[in-house]
Structure 1
Amino acid sequence: YELHVGTFNDQEDVPDQGQFSSLTARLGHLKKLGVNAIQIMPIGEFAGDRSWGYNPAHIFSVEVTYGGPRAFKQFVRRAHQEGIAVILDVVYNHLGPSDLDLWQFDGWSENGRGGIYFYNDQRAVTPWGETRPDYGRGEVRQYIVDNVLMWLGEYHVDGLRFDCTQFIRTVNGADAQGDLPEGWSLLQWINDEINRQFPGRITIAEDLQSNRWLTRDVGAGGAGFSAQWDARFVHPIRQAVIVTLDEQRSLAAIRDAVCYHYNNQDVFDRVIYSESHDEVANGKARVPQEINPGDPKGWYARKRSTLAAAMVFTAPGIPMLFQGQEFLEGGWFRDTVPVDWDQCEEFHGIVRLYRDLIRLRLNRDGHTRGLCGQYANAYHVHEESKILAFHRWDKGGPGDDVMVVANFFHEPRNGHIIGLPAGGKWTLRFNSDWHGYNDDFSNHPSRDVVADPGDRDGLGWQAAMDIGPYSVLIYSR
């Protein structure tokens, strides 16, 4: 669950609004939702009092407007007491660009740039300023590694998310040009050191270049990250629900997004999502807002945004939400606009939909272990009807095999025959069209099915299914 400290709980009637202590007041909501990890946007000291946090001036200091170091330690402790891990977003691809004590530290520089601790040629240039640290300098490397170890050791965070690693390992942020081998070796050193001193902690790269080597072991030449944000998932999934016309929704693109994996070893080496701080800003908006800018709380926005969410929680990978997504937070993300918690009550049914999806994803009731598994087969891709079906499993068998059926069309589909991987009864565990999630959902009469022998979709069993408009069904056996 990605959140921004300054806006997550910033209502005027909240004590210590926009601070770590105000986050603590919402831990109960997150625990009830089923969240097991919070990813906090950067908290290093930055210029001014309002920021996303990606302009770090003092990376060893905790932002004072958020409450400072003691308050952050207390928050981490409280989150752990609730069984929720804390992952911290860190920024090492540039510093500042303002309020930098390290800038021209000893008075020397070239080309008007940062001096001994920064690159002073074209390697200094990043999208955020000409302030890239010199990853080849021993003091800089140690400075960054020490910062990493501080968060894990002194503050006891459970993992780190590294911002825009493509600008650490390359000059221009693209694989084909301007490699920074010293940046790559720094990432390897960081992950090696974490594995040595803090085994079990997670490291996540935001790289968005689909580079398989990021999550390969350092010993094999990789960077050693646990996972990376997956651009191959978010963009086709958002596109599939945002476009206006049903015929423009590509089920083949959705299939590829659902089934993609990086290294043929562990599907949990990717983080999948339909909203993040970047995807709902920078010229883009929240999914409901993108679907219907004139009515982001309306039927189309509710149905199709939850369709995207269902893909997030049923595809293989580590699912992630962005703050307020579970109650249809609209507009776009700004560091001056607080989350509208009134919508949590207004859309309590949608909150329950997310809670039910998370419960199934975590196999809390012992019926859907396949959603925790490594395997996915999207074998039914019917572009004409806009019905997609895929099988999820770990070891297979009763309590494990899961079938996900999604309708990307604005009308219900009845009697749609789909192949199944096993015979017998398949129990309906989730129907996103249930009217308990929203009064104007149609409550289409989807039900348990019995798979009969018959060749369909290359499988030996089949059943006819009824599914509501823009809806997802989850079955298990």
Structure 2
Amino acid sequence: MSHPNPVGQPFRRRHAMPFGAELQREGVRFRLWAPSHEAVRLELDGAPAPLPMQRGEGGWHELVRAEARAGSRYRFVLPDGQRVPDPASRYQPEDVHGPSEVVDPAAYAWGDAGWAGRPWEEAVLYELHVGAFTPEGSFRAAIGRLDHLVALGVTAIEIMPVAEFPGGRNWGYDGVLPFAPDASYGRPEDLKALVDAAHARGLMVLLDVVYNHFGPEGNYLWAVAGETFTDRHKTPWGAAINFDGPGSEEVRAFFLHNALYWIEEFHLDGLRLDAVHAILDDSKRHILAELAERLRAAAPGRHIHLVLENEHNEASRLRRDDAGRPLQHTAQWNDDVHHVLHVAATGESSGYYAEYHGDARKLGRALAEGFAFQGEHMPYRGHPRGEPSAGLPPTAFVAFIQNHDQVGNRAFGDRLSASAAPEALRAIAACYLLLPQVPMLFMGEEWAAAQPFPFFCDFGPDLADAVREGRRNEFARFPEFADPESRARIPDPMAEATFASAKLRWEDTARPPHAGWLDWYRRILAVRHAEIIPRLSGIRRGGAFEILGESAVAVQWAFPHGILHLRANLAPRPLPVSAPPGRLLWQEGKPGGAWFLGWSIEETAA
């Protein structure tokens, strides 16, 4: 909820939570769900000994202390003496194993009282990792680069997960305290300042959240409330989060409040939900559906955007109402578009890329209709994949040629510019940047950054060797890493140097060839803003495509009073592919030549 904003007074925001440490008139109320424990104590700064908490109904333990205040540090003490942080901690000044800190969320004075967000059709996303985005690797330092993004043509930043993780560096998907922005990036008010500064520049802010698992180090919920997990479902990380069994009401509330917390207390414009195919819920109302409904109801009058990562390609989660508004989720990361464009530019055909290699039908289908797999059997996965998606508007899909996964899950974290010829890279970039799907750049892509984005983390000694060896063994099945010597060259994810190698070098933007790439990206995004975005709301369903060659297609989308055309030969060989009809918007290469691509608009009578 937001507090009233009297004339001349700063604007304050706070999401009221039924658990954790909440400031009240009489002090601080501490509340913990620990149903298997009869007695829990509170360890509080200044108290000579842990203080007994009162056990109430449903496994809740509560205590109000008048001497506690913002800045007080505390832990919960379990019956066996184990001292644990608050699962709903708003801040962990000493990392995941240290005490939690009481935070006054209303202490930050917001300057964006009039901000209601932007329509999804205007979205040009930019995925960034706070730690690697700037040399300082902090929320505050990121503010200094926002003007660059505005000049580029970006309208929304999508921040990789910031929930408190172990150590000083991590991709963010090993978070264990989902309410606490990681202390290595700054305090909660520093993240609020970043959001505030983005809004002042017209930039939306989306945050990547992980509701499918907790990281392997610092997850004290097993000790506090083992009911949070269930053996009835299995995920790649082990036991699933309990969204549908005994005790699931409190578990669901924990994550629902987390989503509301980010939208209300941090004034975010949306969330990207990681790997929702691993959120396993057999209840009558799936947690994803409830989450979407609760968030939209909590923020009337605001543009709230919910983006999924979903290997199952469930088009049903992206359905629209008669007015074209999302019924649940706004869009999904479209891996299929990435895969068809990646194999075209690189010729790679290992692993799942084999499913897309040289398949112009999948290329045309992914560009025109969203999903390449819409229920067909996928041999790589061994089962059918996807649902029909042609009836969805293109804006239900987020298109990209690079992101943290597709770069970082390569052995060396090498970017596409390291393996694709410049003319191939320009062709596929021009394809996705003007596509009616919503484009997403990966940080540094706009200047063909030379820095890799390898996998990095900072686990304690109990996990370090296992993670290091596990990472290298992942690649043992690839021919180029069959021998131990080749695998030994894979960067050590635990090494600080691996993390340092991922940090962007902003000075490169002024040097060739990077300056030329940056100019190219600015020019093509200007075309998107002028010609594509104004027409997106009128494109209510997928387009039609025609196969022109092995990697060549013609695609068209109808909008009121016109047609958007794409013709492309995404191959190093000439093909008789002509320029599209109508007014030319953008062209790469020459008609009939290799790596030719043309976008045009054909106006029709009103």
| TM-score, structure 1 as length reference | 0.75
| Equivalent residue in structure 2 for 1:117, among 228, 245, 253 | 228
* Counterpart in the other structure of 2:408: 281
- Alpha-carbon offset, residue 66 of structure 1: 0.4
Task: Tell me which residue corresponds to 1:213.
Answer: 316
Query: In the TM superposition, what are the counterparts of 1:69-108 in structure 2 within 5 Å?
Result: 69-105=188-224
Aligned residue for 2:332, secondary structure, equals: strand
- Deviations 1:155-212, CA, capped at 9 Å, x for gaps: 000000001101103xxxxxxxxxx313962111111101211243011111121112
Runs of at least 5 residues in structure 2 that lack an aligned partner in the other structure? 1-125, 350-356, 371-388, 457-498
Give deviations 1:411-443, integer Å, cap 9, x for gaps: 6668x54674xxxxx33332335xxxxxxxxxx
Distance 1:117 1:419 in 2: 56
Deviation at 1:96, TM superposition (A): 2.5
Q: In the alignment, residue 30 of structure 1 is paired with which amino acid? A: L
Cα 1:264–1:22 change in 2 (3 A) is same
Partner residue of 1:328 out of 442, 448, 460: 448
Q: Which has the larger radius of gyration?
A: 2
Q: Distance in 1 between matches of 2:537 and 2:524?
A: 12
Q: Kindly tell me: are residues 135 and 183 of structure 1, through their superposed partners in 2, closer, same or farther at Cα, counting changes over 3 Å?
A: farther
User: Where in structure 1 do 4 or more consecutive aligned residues deviate above 6 Å?
Assistant: none
1:378/1:192 Cα in 2 relative to 1: closer, same or farther (>3 Å)?
closer
8 Å contact 1:86–1:159 — kept in the other structure? yes
| Cross-structure match for 1:351 | 518
Whether the 8 Å CA contact 2:331–2:396 is kept in 1: the answer is yes
The alpha-carbon deviation at position 393 of structure 1 amounts to 3.9
* Cα distance between partner residues in 2 of 1:238 and 1:53: 25
Q: Within 1, Cα distance between the matches of 2:308 and 2:292?
A: 11
Q: CA deviation at 1:104?
A: 1.9
1:190 aligns with 2:291: yes
Matches within 5 A, 1:318-397: 318-330=438-450, 331-335=452-456, 336=499, 337-345=502-510, 346=512, 347-362=514-529, 364=530, 369-370=534-535, 373-374=538-539, 377-383=543-549, 387-397=552-562
Q: 1:236·1:254 contact (CA, 8 Å) conserved in 2?
A: yes
Pick from 142, 146, 152 the counterpart of residue 263 of structure 2. 152
Contact 1:392 1:402 in 2 (8 A): yes
AA paired with 1:140? Answer: V
Equivalence map 1:226-237=2 (5 Å): 226-237=330-341
> CA separation in 2, counterparts of 1:241 and 1:47?
37
User: Cα deviation per residue 1:301-359 (whole Å; 9 max; x = unaligned)?
Assistant: x2112222122123332111111111113444444121232432232221222222222
Residue type at the aligned position of 1:18: G
SS in 1 for 2:338: helix
Number of matched residues?
395
Q: Which residue of 2 aligns with 1:272?
A: 399
CA distance in 2, matches of 1:264, 1:473: 25
Structure 1 CA distance for aligned equivalents of residues 287 and 532 of structure 2? 43
1:174 equivalent in structure 2: none
Partner secondary structure for residue 149 of structure 2: helix
| TM-score computed with the length of structure 2 as normaliser | 0.60
Deviation of 1:263 (Å) = 6.0
Alpha-carbon distance in structure 2 between the residues aligned to 1:329 and 1:182? 45
Matched, 1:428 2:584: yes
Q: Structure 2: how far apart are the matches of 1:148 and 1:102?
A: 19
Letter in 2 for 1:278: D
The AA in structure 2 aligned to 1:41 is: M
Q: Which runs of 5+ in 1 are unaligned?
A: 11-16, 107-114, 170-179, 292-299, 421-425, 434-443, 445-465
Check the 8 A contact 1:249/1:408 in 2, yes or no: no
Quick one: distance in 2 between partners of 1:317 and 1:232? 12
How much identity, in percent, do the aligned residues show?
Answer: 28
- Which of 140, 143, 151 is equivalent to 1:32? 151
